[in-house]
């Protein structure tokens, strides 16, 4: 019998999210691997065994036991797209979007550029402190890995400062994957000098590579063209970056054409919800049809074509100010009409694949990083059926109990 660090026992359902080596796609999305009365054995930050509680109790002696007492146990949630580091909440302009009325006495600067101005003015210490507070809450809601982008600096100094802040978040229980998004939008001061800004983004790539693993570009009618995107992407690849892409959120700039086999599409239902894309608008007495009522059919078509899909909160102050992947999973069911098994795959193993970490985490399998969530409910469907409160009871990150509701 082996002595190990931690044994998680007595899960009514132990969702493993085990799939083939590429993650879940097509019909396989609908079959979730669940072990009844399951347990996970953990040692030195890694999963060393998974199976029925009775079997694992025979095989391992643990320094510490976390008894799930009939509750649900799953892999830690992977949030593969975020704009975690910023200054400047945008709740004031949001009221205007909701009501359709200009707020008297409130002159609102627009959108991302508002956040850019506040972020440029913020110190690294202030940005880091807020990001750390947000990470604490994400952890409490079950997230154990998150991708974090720059993109609110849009000048060399602030973009590199953001990357240093992101780098400084290492050591938090939520594991960070850093991305350079210099090509987020065209900053106001470059409004008629697109070419100069694209060159600035490319010229910053070598310095940013010290901290960033990925390079991201927003390819869209209101951001960068497909040709500009390709130039930035080629320069990034030459420096050893891996690529991510914001494609066609607003219009069709040709970005989706880049989605070939191997690409993981990331769905953002909290954006659909927050921007009210599926709700008709009132314009005076007239009802204007919803901007994007086609979401459920579009998502189903992507699944039917065998595309790999993941879910993310896209945490940002403009289009998705939520820290909770649970809320995202709940919205994916209600807005995109996805089933429970599909949603669990997309929030765990497929999201890990979206960060090229599918072999390392995202499922409860021997050898993987020990990121585990113990929920307050016994079955995985209940996490999606319920909504509005935090259903997490405990989070194990990298083999250690990093958060607990009982504390």
CA distance 169 to 181: 18
Q: Which is nearer to Zn ion, 66 or 347 (CB)?
A: 347
| Residue located via tokens 């146990």 | 73
Nearest-approach distance from CB 266 to Zn ion, in angstroms: 9
Q: Which stretch binds Zn ion (CB under 5 A): 56-64, 103-111, 293-301, 309-317?
A: 309-317
Q: Which stretch binds Zn ion (CB under 5 A): 95-103, 308-316, 326-334, 392-400?
A: 308-316
CA distance 340 to 313: 17
Q: Which is nearer to Zn ion, 314 or 365 (CB)?
A: 314
- Positive or negative, the Cα torsion across 376, 346, 7, 406? negative
Scanning residues 311 to 350, which ones bind Zn ion (CB under 5 A)?
314
Nearest-approach distance from CB 86 to Zn ion, in angstroms: 11
Whether the CB-CB separation of 241 and 213 falls below 8 Å is answered with: yes
Q: Which is nearer to Zn ion, 83 or 368 (CB)?
A: 83
Q: Which is nearer to Zn ion, 243 or 382 (CB)?
A: 243
Q: Which is nearer to Zn ion, 5 or 79 (CB)?
A: 79
Size of the site for Zn ion (CB under 5 A): 1
What is 297-322 written as a DSSP string? HHHHHHHHTT-EEEE---BBTTTB--
Nearest-approach distance from CB 363 to Zn ion, in angstroms: 25
CA distance 352 to 180: 19
CA distance 152 to 115: 7
Nearest-approach distance from CB 176 to Zn ion, in angstroms: 16
Nearest-approach distance from CB 179 to Zn ion, in angstroms: 10
Nearest-approach distance from CB 246 to Zn ion, in angstroms: 5
Sheet holding 77-79, edge to edge: 77-79, 143-149, 175-183, 214-219, 242-247
Cβ neighbours of residue 93 closer than 8 Å, sequence gap 6 or more: 108, 110, 111, 114
CA distance 149 to 212: 9
Nearest-approach distance from CB 75 to Zn ion, in angstroms: 23
Q: Which is nearer to Zn ion, 158 or 270 (CB)?
A: 270
CB-based closest residue to Zn ion: 314
CA distance 289 to 286: 10
DSSP letter (8 states) at residue 152: S
Q: Which is nearer to Zn ion, 244 or 380 (CB)?
A: 244
Which of 303, 382, 372, 379 has its CA nearest to residue 342?
303
Other CB atoms within 10 Å distance of the CB of residue 297: 10
Q: Which is nearer to Zn ion, 218 or 340 (CB)?
A: 218
Nearest-approach distance from CB 274 to Zn ion, in angstroms: 13
CA distance 3 to 393: 26
Q: Which stretch binds Zn ion (CB under 5 A): 85-93, 232-240, 306-314, 355-363?
A: 306-314
Nearest-approach distance from CB 204 to Zn ion, in angstroms: 19
Q: Which is nearer to Zn ion, 56 or 347 (CB)?
A: 347
- Positive or negative, the Cα torsion across 201, 205, 207, 210? positive
Query: Can you give the binding site for Zn ion, defined by CB under 5 A?
Result: 314
């Amino acid at each position: 019998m082996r002595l190990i660090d931690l044994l998680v026992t007595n899960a009514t359902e132990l969702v493993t999210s085990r799939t083939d080596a590429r993650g879940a796609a097509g019909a396989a999305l609908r079959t979730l691997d669940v072990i009844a009365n399951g347990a996970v054995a953990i040692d030195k930050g890694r999963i060393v065994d998974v199976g029925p509680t009775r079997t694992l109790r025979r095989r391992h002696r643990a320094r510490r036991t976390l008894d799930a007492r009939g509750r649900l146990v799953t892999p830690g949630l992977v949030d593969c797209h975020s704009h975690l580091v910023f200054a400047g909440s945008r709740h004031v302009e949001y009221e205007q979007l909701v009501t359709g009325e200009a707020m008297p006495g409130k002159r609102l600067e627009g959108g991302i550029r508002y956040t850019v101005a506040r972020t440029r003015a913020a110190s690294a210490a202030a940005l880091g402190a807020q990001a750390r507070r947000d990470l604490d809450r994400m952890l409490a809601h079950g997230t154990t890995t998150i991708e974090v982008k720059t993109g609110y600096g849009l000048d060399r100094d602030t973009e590199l400062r953001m990357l240093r802040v992101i780098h400084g978040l290492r050591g938090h229980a939520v594991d960070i994957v850093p991305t350079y998004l210099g090509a987020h939008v065209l900053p106001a001061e470059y409004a008629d000098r697109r070419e100069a800004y694209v060159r600035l983004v490319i010229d910053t790539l070598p310095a940013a590579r010290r901290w960033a693993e990925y390079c991201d570009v927003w390819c869209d009618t209101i951001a960068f063209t497909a040709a500009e995107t390709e130039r930035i992407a080629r320069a990034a690849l030459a420096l050893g970056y891996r690529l991510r892409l914001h494609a066609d959120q607003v219009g069709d700039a040709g970005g989706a054409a880049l989605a070939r086999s191997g690409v993981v599409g990331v769905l953002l239902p909290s954006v659909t919800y927050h921007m009210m894309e599926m709700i008709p608008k009132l314009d005076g007495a007239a009802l204007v049809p919803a901007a994007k009522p086609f979401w459920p059919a579009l998502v189903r078509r992507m699944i039917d074509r065998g595309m790999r899909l993941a879910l993310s909160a896209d945490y940002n102050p403009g289009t998705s100010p939520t820290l909770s992947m649970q809320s995202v999973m709940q919205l994916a069911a209600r807005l995109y009409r996805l089933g429970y098994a599909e949603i669990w795959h997309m929030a765990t193993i497929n999201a890990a694949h979206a960060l090229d970490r599918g072999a390392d985490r995202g499922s409860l399998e021997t050898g993987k990083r020990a990121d585990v969530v113990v929920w307050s409910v016994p079955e995985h469907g209940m996490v999606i059926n319920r909504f509005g409160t935090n259903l997490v009871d405990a989070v194990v990150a990298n083999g250690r109990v990093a958060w607990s509701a009982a504390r």
